[in-house]
Structure 1
């Protein structure tokens, strides 16, 4: 048996520990930010099967380049990571970590091999992993293109709703036009650039092309989010929203919101402190609408807070009521704007700040409408350059 085969079979016998080591390295790596919001199981998914293919190819049992190979040659990895919103640099980083792990595991065996065997083994292993990575990029690109096509269809389907929206919100027409213009211009520009490059060079897994696709998807999603939020505001004002009452554990819901906003919190270097009493805190309400209230309040706090802490408290205050308190150390709100901040499209600005926070001013308007729908009330305390505290009082049933 050749030295490469012996090394490959050793790796095949240790699929599970190698998989665990790889996942742990991915979770700990600061350059793979997309993994932070995923569970161990989500990251693992197809990795044992992928490693089996790599090790069998390393042993010379299969050829990854053959079109008729019936093994998963990395396609599932690229497809899965596209769904999980990894970028290409993060996928490349995953394979770099894998190489480090495998070389470390084979270190003792390589040290007793001849120089020629060491060079041949490392070269073959690198070649196999690079070929699998290329297949991953190929399927990743195809998935991104599919997402782009789906987004295009969604934009077409929302066109009719957007037309009706403009009729219902003529006073805000100029504002909406301004907000939609920038991402729409980016979509057109990046799409045109991508298509012109494709006419010169057929589809290939290049970083430039993937970057253009990412930009189109990002800007397209901004438009859809703006349209969807505005449609939701319109539905509230027309009384078209129907509530679904169900048993909800507020503490579990708060944990879910905290996890979903973790990356946004970390991106700005903020600290999130969340607490819930008693635990569990069971209520009867519309789970989705309650989650929207908390998410929008925390997202608003993140948007207007440059440094410091955001605190979220859910607490039962009587036999029939509970409160949600969201406080931040942000720019604050003047008393003159206390009422206006709940109006659609209104955003807090300060004369000494040249940068206006991202957003269109719909988050707090949605919160205000939802609180009314759930039979509650909203209170605000704020001080300029100190921070703001929103208190929501809601019925337990």
Structure 2
């Protein structure tokens, strides 16, 4: 069947299909030699061709059907892919428009060549062909531009999100720096305050010895007590600095809770009873072996027990370990001490918080140490306290602590 027996636009579409490779190469050469298209110089033939052969084939379908609507979804799909790829390749929007305009010019030239060799392809057919080609290429250009803009907007949103997160992290770090500065000033004030008291007492002891030799023993007892209090302060500061500075991986081990419980009782019983207090203990026989860090658990319990004894002048201190639901167990330490006032509950776990009684030694770091260790051991802390009646601390720990990343 000759071209003259086929609808003119279909005959032209058939010729475009036969020349697809040649036309694509002709367009690529025009792009490579265009001074305005700098990004194309960095692309290979395959990268530059991209989805253009598919778009050319779809334009042929438009010419054959003389209906853009039938092929619109296919053209839109390839145009979006084309726009997205050109964005990734670094094209500017004006370069994308220029590149597709060269594609339109190449197809317009093909119309002229076809009509000159075929008398049946009249001027009216040329105008119809130009109309459909212009419509299709304009649609491709618009869709590609929209995709470039969408990609740009997504990139901007991504950068904006990153910037917001960076700003948030910076704010948190600035707050942390501020908190660290305040902590450093607080520790300085606390240590200076206690050192001043320490030196004042020693000065009084020396004056007492020089003025009243008969009271040497009293003066030495006073000095020894102050030295012991200062040792408690220093030990607490050292313990806290070690806890905060420990960035080594958590060492997990399997051990019997009963053995840890008995060790705790032996460690604190004599000191508690020396204050005239009773130590009550209770261990749940259902508890067996746990997987955790034994030394850190012991550190938590000892800090709670020491704190309980420190702030209890009469009555008792209680230590218990019991099994709970959800594969967890609970450490409970209670006392009949001074308790915590409602206004002080928010400050319980903060650094350098302690009772106003100046006779109680230490830097007020015991519960801050407990809080940090519980974070590492995945412990959940709750407490209840009534001023003048005592305090109860309960911490729930997992039976099997999972290592980070495990």
Tell me the TM-score normalized by structure 2: 0.46
